[in-house]
Amino acid sequence: AYFVLQVIYARRKYKISPPETTGHPEFERIFRAQANCSEYFPIFLSLLWVAGIFFHQGVAAGCGLLYLYTRFKYFQGYAAAAQGRL
């Protein structure tokens, strides 16, 4: 939900109405970072569910929190300007 909200705020900030996905470079980076995270979310949920059933639920929950944190850091890094990432 955080990533989707960031896209909404960027759309408002740069005046890009849906369904457009191009415009200001900063908006495009935020939109692409959100799309990248959304593409892998079903895989994450299914693996988390299977790990919770067949392995220890606490370890699965810890790995899930670690995954969410790393996706958050990925989002922040991807949304930054390319010069700032280098």
Show which residues are catalytic: 12, 85
CA dist., res. 34 & res. 32, Å (int):
5
Which pair of tokens denotes residue 21? 């996905």
The rounded distance, in Å, linking the Cα atoms of 40 and 71 is: 10
Please give the DSSP secondary-structure letter assigned to residue 23.
S
